[in-house]
Structure 1
């Protein structure tokens, strides 16, 4: 069991810890050996996986478990293995504190979010974007026509730059435009608020698409 703690005092080879997680008596008794209680102290490094990242990863595991019925430990094993293969890693990634870098954790979350979007796994909460590569997530949502704001399916593909009244859309070079996917209600709200205010409020940044991608979603 890992416990968060702060080193509040150090004298020679003795330290005093302030625990931020509860220490159960049963856990303490299990660590007894020859009348003493043992622990391993691993100092925190700032460029390592954060508690928020770990929470989001396990929340995504839970989303998959609830939708598919696959046991949580099997879900974790599956995604760790798949991520290891995709990243060409030599061993399974560890989610233990100090064993995964901040960058790798962000990439793992991006991988999980993208997988869930592409395979129609519903999210219980949308806050995962706070610890992931937002552009990757938004691209996957746009290609699946999921509303960037509320998560509804069958969203509309919205131009950010005004196409203009009376213009022939077939003559427009859509590869030079930015897009986002919004349901009809959120699209109306975007027009009411104005594009800049809407993007700041929703923490989104519209993206450009290549010709083949535009064909795939029916814009061209």
Structure 2
């Protein structure tokens, strides 16, 4: 469910930040040749993952339990604790992480678990209660997994791909490169509304998040197979 990449982990302390630069002090010394090799292997770009030691928020906990209730009803367990155990076990196994508690886990673990639950529900077409959809509306995972499973990020009906930036006349949307473009999954009705009221007003209204297409996402989506609304310009 959750895709992972091989990474080299270097731990350090954040010393200084500006609008364009981060100064990080490694917690263990690094030789100059190690840094040069790291940059070479990464093609000149290095990905930073910032550890957030804060604990799960009330809002995150509310999202988790709302989706777990929906999953419990869909499976017919009618045993919320069993359903929670099953989903946590699958989540921990997929990431290879230790067991955690929704009462005091770290905020990043909670975020990943929310993403996992959204993906699980969309993959299995598990309906959300209205209050659940209200709680998670605007989550990035709704757009990402909505693209993957072709469900509208707003209402979960069958989705077209919608470009956040204008594609422009003369471009073949089935053969053009989508790398670097931002897209989102919208049903025909919401896609038409996007064009009617304008992209800025639309995204502010629904808090929908665009997904930047990289090579992995382009391959995952098989973009040439998407149905793209004919009125999109």
* Aligned-partner Cα distance in 2 for 1:157–1:180: 6
Match of 2:185 among 181, 184, 199: 181
Instruction: Tell me, yes or no, if the aligned pair for 1:60 and 1:123 is still in contact at 8 Å.
Output: yes
Secondary structure of the structure 1 residue equivalent to 2:211: coil
Is 2:171 aligned against 1:167?
yes
Query: SS of 2:222's equivalent?
Result: helix
Question: Using a 3 Å threshold, how does the CA distance of structure 1 residues 169 and 81 change in structure 2: closer, same or farther?
Answer: closer
Q: Who is 2:148 aligned against? A: 143
What SS class does the counterpart of residue 179 from structure 1 fall into? Answer: strand
In 2, Cα distance between the equivalents of 1:94 and 1:49? 10
Partner of 1:63: 70
CA displacement, residues 38-81 of structure 1 (integer Å, 9 cap, x when unaligned): xxxxxxxx922222222221111110111110222210110121
Report the equivalent of 2:204: 200
Q: Is the CA contact (8 Å cut-off) linking 2:174 and 2:225 kept in structure 1?
A: no
CA distance in structure 1 between the aligned counterparts of 2:159 and 2:125, rounded to whole angstroms: 14
1:20 corresponds to which residue? Answer: none
TM-score, scaled to structure 1: 0.68
Which residue of 1 is the match for residue 13 of structure 2? Answer: none
Between 102-111 and 188-197, the greater mean CA deviation after superposition = 102-111
- Greater RCO, 1 or 2 (C-alpha within 8 Å, sep 6+): 2
Q: 1:102 to 1:166 in 2, by over 3 A?
A: closer
Matched, 1:111 2:116: yes
- How does 1:2-13 map onto structure 2 within 5 Å? none
Tell me the residue number matched to 1:13: none
Structure 2 counterparts to residues 22-33 of structure 1, below 5 A = none
**Alpha-carbon spacing, 1:192–1:80, altered in 2? closer, same or farther (3 Å):** same
Q: Aligned partners of 1:160 and 1:51: how far apart in 2?
A: 32
- Counterparts of 2:83 and 2:219, CA distance in 1: 33
CA distance in 2, matches of 1:61, 1:167: 43
User: May I ask how many residue pairs the two structures share in their alignment?
Assistant: 169
Secondary structure at the residue paired with 1:158? Answer: strand
User: Partners in 2 of 1:177 and 1:89 — Cα distance?
Assistant: 33
Q: Structure 1, unaligned stretches of length 5 or more?
A: 1-45
Q: Residue deviations 1:158-213, cap 9 Å, x none?
A: 12222233433355222232211111111111111101111121112321333312
Larger Rg, first or second structure (1 or 2): 1
> Is residue 2:72 matched to residue 1:75?
no
Which position in structure 2 is the counterpart of 1:48? Answer: 55
